Amino acid sequence: MPEQKSEYPIKVTDERLIKRITIMGVFSDVFSMFNIERGLVYTLKLLFSKPGVLLNLYLKEGRYLIFNSFRLLILTTAISLLAMRLISPEDFLRGFAEGMNNYDSPDQIDILEYEAWISDWYNLILWTAIPLYALFSYLFNRKQGYNYAEHVVMQSFHMSALNIITTIFVVLVTLSNEVWLMSVMLMALVVYYFWMLLAWLKRYSFWFIFKNVLGYVIANLLYLIGVGVAVALVFYE
């Protein structure tokens, strides 16, 4: 099936009235952030209630109602990183580094250096997953008519949701000391991804789910290998 082209560009006539900036106008702009019919709050509501509707609106005539996908990604990443720094999840990071140190090697990872490296490069480590995951969701769903860039947008919204879910669970684990919640978090992330994908593409057959699970597994393996190589280059040089 050819990629969607015939319906684009979509012309949206939205008359705007530009007023002089006043104190009341400033307060109005602040409160507009909490508008439940458009903007950030509306986007977050759809992100966790109707992700398929969110994507279809953003990719078509409802784009002006939705908070920009990449701005949302930057915002949620900043909040996630801030939360991680405030609660200082040393136990999680040290556990990962100590696990790597269990391998027979003359070199050992300096745990404090590892924590600093993760903190400094967190956003880049996270965002590099987007084009990779988008590539596999695109390749495994080419017949759905969406191009690679549209899959990048989908993965950007997915990553924003991942940031929010991860932040909530990391806070819960820190407050409760219940490490098993991390397993629940991983399950929630997987379930959310396929919920978003199926709701967007509206395909529910066994073959569709199977091939996308396969693509998801391959993308995860390549991503983990890439992160592992980066860690090796930094700490075992």
Number of independent structural domains in the chain = 1
Tell me the residue range of the domain where 123 lies: 68-235
pLDDT of amino acid 1: 46
- Residue 144 belongs to some domain of the structure: yes
Which residue in 135, 115, 133, 8 sits closest to 61, CA to CA?
A: 8
pLDDT tens, position by position, 43-73: 999 999 999 999 999 998 888 889 999 999 9
Rounded to 5 degrees, what are φ and ψ at 9? -75, 150
Are residues 219 and 136 in contact, defined by beta-carbon separation less than 8 angstroms? yes
What's the distance, Cα to Cα, between the start and end of the chain in Å?
48
Residue 173 located in a structural domain: yes
- Could you tell me how far CA 46 lies from the centroid of its own chain? 15
pLDDT the model gives residue 106: 46
Is the pTM here over 0.85, yes or no? no
Residue-wise pLDDT tens digits, 95-127: 444 444 454 444 445 555 656 666 666 777 888
In a domain, 31, yes or no: no
Query: Does residue 16 lie in a domain region?
Result: no
User: How far is Cα 229 from Cα 164, in angstroms, rounded to an integer?
Assistant: 27
Question: Measured between alpha carbons, how far is 125 from 229 in angstroms, rounded to an integer?
Answer: 12
Longest dimension (CA), the chain: 68
If DSSP codes are grouped into helix, strand and coil, which group holds residue 169? helix
Q: What's the CA gap between 32 and 106, in Å, rounded?
A: 58
Rounded distance, CA 38 to CA 14, Å? 14
